[in-house]
Amino acid sequence: MGNLSELVGIPYLINGSTEQGCDCWGLVQLYYIKYKNIQLPNFAGVYKNPQIVADIEEKQLVTGDIILLREFGDSLHCGLFVHRDIMLNSQAPQGSHLARITSPKWHGRVLAYLRVNHGI
């Protein structure tokens, strides 16, 4: 799992993006700045901006790719792909943790798989 294992157990904090606390997008931002030296913008519009991310197919996933998930009927959650059907994500109350994309909670809720354009 590499560097992602160091991000397990961070407390949940709305709008947080540090090791002291983060929400789901903050966890993605933290990973990219800490391990890829890429500063991602705040949440708004990132998923639809082809200058920042590219849609990929499930079979193309590599560790660190973003998984966009539907929650409450909208694209309100994201996580980082780890391997096979495992993602790292952050939610209240447990904070950052590993979860199966195929679990009853997330099965059928994947909206997109995204790869950050490393040239941003």
**Domain membership of residue 18 as a residue range:** 2-116
pLDDT in tens, 64-76: 999 999 877 666 7
Report the alpha-carbon distance of residue 116 to residue 43 in Å, rounded: 14
> Does residue 2 register a pLDDT over 60?
no
Structural domain total, the chain: 1
For 39-43, 53-57, 81-85, which range has the lowest pLDDT when averaged over its residues?
Answer: 39-43
Token pair for residue 93?
């109350």
* CATH number of the domain to which 109 belongs: 3.90.1720.10
Report the alpha-carbon distance of residue 73 to residue 119 in Å, rounded: 32
pTM more than 0.85: yes
**What integer is the mean pLDDT of 29-44?**
89
Token pair for residue 103?
């679990």
